[in-house]
Each structure stands twice: as structure tokens, then as C-alpha cells.
Amino acid sequence: MQDVFAASISIAFHGVALAMVLYLVSVGLSITMGLMGFVNLAHGAFAAAGGYVALTLMNDLGVPFPLSLAIAAFSVGAASMVLERLLYSRLYGEHELSQVMFTIGLILVTTGGAKAIWGPLSLPMHPPSYLRGDVDLWFRSFPTYRSFIIAAGVVLVTALWLGLERTRFGAQVRAAVDNRRMAQSIGINTSRLFTLTFALGSALAALGGAIGSEIWAIDTSYAQEHLVYFLIVVAVGGLGSIRGPFFASLLLGVSDTAFKYLLPEFGAFFIYALTLVLLLWRPQGLFGRA
């Protein structure tokens, strides 16, 4: 009984850590989808890029961890703005197939590019010394870095939600997600809004990828490998929703950890089956609009 309890705590803990990573990466995808109606399958590439930048800075240039994270977030955010202005924006409102094929092309290019620069192996992740080892939390000890992931996740999510609720920018985003045409007619500069939101989503994804690199290693197949999970989070959470993917991430993170621990031979199979059932029952997701 004691063991079951201990195992449950472990699963919950690691599951929540994974959920934080999932949410940080996926929330940008959900907002992009809700705001611009654009299915950005290449979104995971921003997470991978964040990981590549941060880890290269840390491993090869000895840049301190917090600074590496900040640089990763800003640089990926900035790069995504360029991509958005040059390429993505040309496809808004276009045939969905064009959007899908473009993002597939982008995944291929970034994958190939990453392989050319960093090679096919995954980058090693060495947490800074003050985040290694275990930390004592109430009744037992937990890995410090994972605790950091959860803490950082909570802080970032809170900041995001407050930002979207309290700031004018946030209000504009929420209005535009709700009804794009209406938003335009009341004078919101939607194209600038799109660019900024896209950058914000990509920067968050970069942070998620970098911080989460201890759970999901950074390698050239990152974007492809985890694509299904990002899509599940958004689809189950509800397209365009901001809170929905959070609960979907919790669900997915804990389930994935649980299944990998309890039934390792079946891997993600049960997750997929559960997703099918959930979407059969509610095709619009948990928080989506019917």
C-alpha cells in the first residue's frame, strides 16, 4: 500500500513536470490556431530550436543557465517573427492544404539544417549545479531539476494568464481569437497582433523545449517525434483555448508517465486510444466551442 502511494506520488510529480513542458510548447500552437486559423505543424521546431540554442550556449560557451534560457527565448521569438512576416503571413486564409504542406516543408528544412549543424545525436543536458540532486519537499525528496521545471512552469503559466487577462494586448488577443472580423472592425491591427502573438508563442515554446530538455532530449527529430502530443494537447484542450490545453497537458502528462511506468511495452498506445474516445465524446475538445 505504501508502495502504491509512493509510486502514485512519483507518477503525479513527473507527470506534472512533463505537463508543464507540454503546455509551454503547445499553448502557442493553440493560440496561433485560434487566432489565425493556421495549423502550424512546425511549431515543435521552435521548441527544438530553443533547446539547441540554450544547450549550445551552456555546453559549448559556458553561458549560465538563466541567461541561456533568456537568449534562447528571445532569439527564437525574433527568428519566428521574421519567418512569420516573410512566409507564414502569405498563407493566412489560404487553402488549408497549402498551410499544412508549408509547415511540413519547414519541418524538413529545419530538421535537415539541424542535422547539418549539430549532427544526428541528441544534445546532452547538464543542469546547473544548484539544480542538481534532490530537494526535500515535505514528506519526501524529489529531483531538484524536475521540481524546478514545475516551479518555472507555474510561474510562466501564471504570468501568461495574468498577461492575457489584464493587459490590453491580452484583451486584443482574446477578442481576435473570439471573432477575427469583429476585432478588425473595431480597429485592432490584426497583422501586428498576429506577429506579436506568433513570437510570444514561439518564445514560450523555445523556453519549454529548453527547460524540458532534461525530459525530452533535443535532437533533430524532436519536432516530428512529439508532434502528435502537441496536437493532442491542442485538439483535446480545444482550439484557440488558453486554459483548455493546460488541463489537456496535465491529463496527457500524467497519463503518459503513468502508462510508461505501469505498462511500458505499450508505450503511447493507450494515450492514443484514450484520445480517440475523448474526441468521439467531445469532438470540439474539453474547452472548445461546439
Q: Does 263 bind another protein (CB under 8 A)?
A: no
Compute the least distance from the CB of residue 39 to another protein, in Å: 5
Pattern 21-40, another protein, x by CB under 8 A:
------------x---x-x-
Q: Does 45 bind another protein (CB under 8 A)?
A: no
Q: Does 273 bind another protein (CB under 8 A)?
A: yes
**C-beta separation of 17 from 224 below 8 A:** no
**In this chain, which of 85, 115, 174, 260 binds another protein, going by CB under 8 A?**
115
Pattern 77-106, another protein, x by CB under 8 A:
----------x--xx--xxxxx-xxx-xxx
Give CA separation, 260 vs 2, 100, 233, 256, in Å: 21, 31, 18, 6
How far is C-alpha 71 from the geometric centre of its chain's CA atoms? 17
In angstroms, the CA 234 to CA 286 distance is: 10
Q: Does 3 bind another protein (CB under 8 A)?
A: no
Residues 214-253 that bind another protein (CB under 8 A): 224, 227-228, 231-232, 234-235, 239
Compute the least distance from the CB of residue 227 to another protein, in Å: 7
Exposed e or buried b per residue across 184-218, where buried means at least 16 C-beta atoms within 10 angstroms of its C-beta: eeeebebeebbbbbbbbbbbbbbbbbbbbbbbbbb
Listed in sequence order, the DSSP H helices in 37-118 are 43-61, 65-86, 96-118
Q: Which is nearer to another protein, 145 or 259 (CB)?
A: 259
Exposed e or buried b per residue across 32-64, where buried means at least 16 C-beta atoms within 10 angstroms of its C-beta: bbbbbebbbbbbbbbbbbbbbbbbbbbeeeebe
Compute the least distance from the CB of residue 102 to another protein, in Å: 5
124 DSSP 8-state letter: P
Q: Does 186 bind another protein (CB under 8 A)?
A: no
- H or E element, residue 233: helix 227-237
Compute the least distance from the CB of residue 235 to another protein, in Å: 4
Q: Does 279 bind another protein (CB under 8 A)?
A: yes
**C-beta separation of 69 from 207 below 8 A:** yes
Positions that interact with another protein (CB under 8 A)? 33, 37, 39, 41, 87, 90-91, 94-98, 100-102, 104-113, 115-116, 224, 227-228, 231-232, 234-235, 239, 265-269, 272-273, 275-276, 279-280, 283-285
